[in-house]
Amino acid sequence: MRKKEIRLYNLLFPIWMFFIWPSVLWLILLPANFVIDSVVLLLAMYALRLENRLSLWKKSIVWIWLIGFLSDFIGAALIFVLMLASDWLKLPFNLILFPATTIIAIPGVLLAGVLIFFLNKRFSFQKLQDELSGEQIHKLCLALAIFTAPYAMFIPLYG
């Protein structure tokens, strides 16, 4: 019984769990993600030589920011389910320790990145379809998916 309590305690503190349970850390995460999303979007627009970047940013950044958090949450939830399933299956290795914790994060990070791409394409740039070409929207969404995916989920808290 004692061993189960220890495993459950360890299960609650991987870094990706901060995306699931609201905490004081969110007061840092919310503005930090907004800044990161803004920088990535503005740099991608600059690289694509888009005009009227500030107007495009204003029309899309709130959706991009919200979609980023939703995608991170869904990716973290997938990792949580995988960890619960591994505990239920009684796998012979500890998913809390490196490298297993990093490996199990792969599906969550990939899912979050894919969601960032498709949800931004569907919602964030919906109002901008008359201002941007389909190729430009595709490239902006791809940049957001690649550079704002929740790579912090790969960081194990235990060595």
Helix ranges restricted to H, the chain: 2-11, 26-47, 53-89, 100-119, 134-148
How would you classify residue 43: left for phi > 0, otherwise alpha for psi between -120 and 50, otherwise beta? alpha
Domains of the chain, residue spans: 27-154
pLDDT of residue 83: 79
pLDDT (0 to 100) of residue 146: 97
Other beta carbons within 10 angstroms of residue 44's beta carbon come to 20
Q: Specify the pLDDT at position 13.
A: 42
Q: How far apart are CA 44 and CA 78, in angstroms?
A: 29
Q: 71-75, 118-122, 150-154 — which one is most confidently predicted on average? A: 118-122
CA distance 94 to 132: 48
In this prediction the pTM is 0.82
List the Cα angle 9/106/24 in 5-degree steps.
Answer: 45
